[in-house]
Amino acid sequence: MEIWTKEELKQIINERDEDRLYELHEQIENSQWRCSYHVQTVTGLMNDPNGFSFYQNQWHLFYQWFPFGAVHGMKHWYHVVSDDLVHWKNVGLCMKPTLNYENAGCFSGSGFVKDNFLYLVYTGHHNEPDGQVIEYQMIAAIDDTNHLTKLKRPIIMPQSGYTEHQRDPKIFYENEKYYILIGAQDAEKHGKMLLYSSEQIAAGWTFCGELKVEGYDHFGHMVECPCIEKIGDKWLLFFCPQGIEKKENAYQNAYANVYLIGDLDLETLTFKPDTDLEELDKGFDFYASQTAYQKDNRGTAILAGWFGCSDYTYPSDDEGWANLVTLPRELTIEDGKLLQRPCKQLASLKGDVLFDAENGIVKKDILLRKMPNSCVMHLENPSNSDIELDLFSTDLRKGFSISYKQRNGKLEISRKQLSNQINPSFGTERSVMLDTLRVLDVYVDHSAVELFINDGEYVMSARIFPTEEEKKIRMSGKDINLKIWNMQTSVKDDFVVFPKEEEDAAEN
Ligand code: FRU
């Protein structure tokens, strides 16, 4: 493991770093774990997706980025774009910490499109000379030439009565007003969400109060990355409470990303949930997700999450890179339930059929000698039978195993029998309990596996780091339809760091 000095962690990117980063990228590019249809960090470390928006007919996604290595150093924003949520292009650096308010990093935030601008509200993470942390809510905007202008001063100052943890603004518009929701910690060290409102985007913000969630006094000891989206006529409130107690089938990860469906009353600052608190993803690696939407289609929203979590390390860290964004998921609320499906456009990536069970029916064990690094599997299980599907296995080890037992309805994924163990102190298995397992779609991309269960009922995400020897697929099950397709490349792993335009700062 590389040791980083304080000074190295504080580095801010500069044009002079281009050659050095180019070399780092060259080294990373050859990794067997680089993905071909997931957005992944260009170099160094990526964490939260930020500013996810539909602007000028394109999807814009940013991510928290420390360019120089796989550690949580000084945070910048990196920018990628897509026409279809599937083919992504690296645009380059979007924002770096240039103002004193953000001298310890440009932390997470969200996007809002208005008057030909994409506004980005974010947290200026500031360190006083004695190390004291102060967090400010800041704003910037990019125009259609990708020119970024920041406002020099915060739009929201720290709120008294709360600790220094006040961050990750989510901006939204409702009842002819703008709102910002942030994650916070109160003086009793309880996780809270705070609401602000304004008539304009870039000024006039006033504190409304805490968002009261009926049935809950607080959420853990700190809430990070809150997000709220209207989907049809319901609101989806989702956020990352830290310090939630582990349960048998839930909250096994270092930190959780949870959701509630309900109604939002902005007059009384109350959210009335119709559902219990649930994790958005039941796998190992998922955090800090955000949504974006298209103005003319408010029946759905698109969700992107960090395919990782704070406090985790991965084998790719030693290669100088860490982390991906999950596949974009299309969210709908049907019969009061949240469904998360891989976005439809992904189907266009399906290439050759690699396996098609004879007459569509798998009756006994099958074996594929060469596990494709990038594929999608569609499995139908009309008689709800037991299934075992082992990916990246060897003759002796199961590899990444997916198993379903009809007897107790348990679907379990396990990383226990892979040679590269990933954060095993957080457990090697995750499971969900199902009434039946009807369909399963498994997306595999080099070091990523995402399971979509029963057409969006649950999603389980897992990073895996298979070795050259781990390359078989084994399966057992009765009367199961299974088809496997190759997936084509849609995310180019090219080196783009400095876009044409540099950022600017304007008075406010
Ligand atoms: C969540 C988080 C945010 C913060 C950002 C810093 O992973 O801790 O709360 O804004 O990451 O990179």
pLDDT value at residue 112: 98
* 229 CB within 6 A, ligand 1: no
pLDDT value at residue 366: 66
Taking only the tens place, the pLDDT of each residue in 35-92 is: 999 999 999 999 999 999 999 999 999 999 999 999 999 999 999 999 999 999 999 9
451: Cβ contacts below 8 Å, ≥ 6 apart: 283, 402, 413, 440, 441, 442, 458, 459, 460, 461
44: left (phi over 0), alpha (psi -120 to 50) or beta: left
424: Cβ contacts below 8 Å, ≥ 6 apart: none
Q: 317: CA distance to ligand 1 center in Å?
A: 19
Spell out a b/e string for 408-427, using b for 16 or more CB atoms within 10 Å of the CB, else e: eeebebbbebbebebbeebe
pLDDT value at residue 338: 98
DSSP strand pairing (44-55 vs 321-322):
parallel
pLDDT value at residue 478: 85
502: Cβ contacts below 8 Å, ≥ 6 apart: none
Taking only the tens place, the pLDDT of each residue in 165-221 is: 999 999 999 999 999 999 999 999 999 999 999 999 999 999 999 999 999 999 999
Terminal-residue alpha carbon distance, the chain: 44
455 is catalytic: no
Contact call for residues 316 and 33 (beta carbons, < 8 A): yes
Taking only the tens place, the pLDDT of each residue in 21-45 is: 999 999 999 999 999 999 999 999 9
Confidence of residue 2 (pLDDT cuts 50, 70, 90): confident
Taking only the tens place, the pLDDT of each residue in 425-458 is: 999 999 999 999 999 999 999 999 999 999 999 9
* 257 CB within 6 A, ligand 1: no
Taking only the tens place, the pLDDT of each residue in 90-141 is: 999 999 999 999 999 999 999 999 999 999 999 999 999 999 999 999 999 9
Residue ranges of the alpha helices (H) in 371-493? none
Q: What angle do CA 441, 86, 343 make, to 5 degrees?
A: 45
Rounded Cα–Cα distance for residues 450 and 460 (Å)? 6
Rounded Cα–Cα distance for residues 62 and 120 (Å)? 10
Residue whose CB lies within 8 A of the most ligand 1 atoms, among 75, 135, 225, 325, for a mutation test: 225
Positive or negative: CA dihedral 382, 402, 468, 322: positive
What is the number of the ligand 1 atom nearest to the C-alpha of 310? Answer: 7
Q: If you average pLDDT over residues 470-479, what whole number do you get? A: 89
Residue ranges of the alpha helices (H) in 64-108? none
Rounded Cα–Cα distance for residues 239 and 247 (Å)? 18
Taking only the tens place, the pLDDT of each residue in 387-432 is: 999 999 998 999 999 999 999 999 999 999 999 999 999 999 999 9
Name the percent of the chain lying above pLDDT 90. Answer: 91
What is the number of the ligand 1 atom nearest to the C-alpha of 287? Answer: 7
Instruction: From the candidates 48, 285, 390, 441, give the one annotated as an active-site residue.
Output: 48
Rounded Cα–Cα distance for residues 447 and 205 (Å)? 43
Q: What is the DSSP letter of 346?
A: G
Rounded Cα–Cα distance for residues 356 and 378 (Å)? 10
Indicate if the pLDDT at residue 159 is higher than 90: yes
Q: Which residue's alpha carbon is at the smallest distance from atom 12 of ligand 1?
A: 107
pLDDT value at residue 248: 86
* 47 CB within 6 A, ligand 1: yes
Of 98-102, 191-195, 314-318, 474-478, minimum mean pLDDT range:
474-478
Confidence of residue 476 (pLDDT cuts 50, 70, 90): confident
Query: Order of strands across the sheet with 162-174?
Result: 162-174, 177-186, 191-198, 206-210
* 288 CB within 6 A, ligand 1: yes
What is the number of the ligand 1 atom nearest to the C-alpha of 240? Answer: 1
pLDDT value at residue 212: 98
Q: 287: CA distance to ligand 1 center in Å?
A: 10
Taking only the tens place, the pLDDT of each residue in 329-387 is: 999 999 999 999 999 999 999 999 998 886 666 766 666 778 899 999 999 999 999 99
Mean residue pLDDT across the chain: 95
Q: If you average pLDDT over residues 10-21, what whole number do you get? A: 96
Q: 224: CA distance to ligand 1 center in Å?
A: 7
Write out the two tokens for 286. Answer: 């998922």
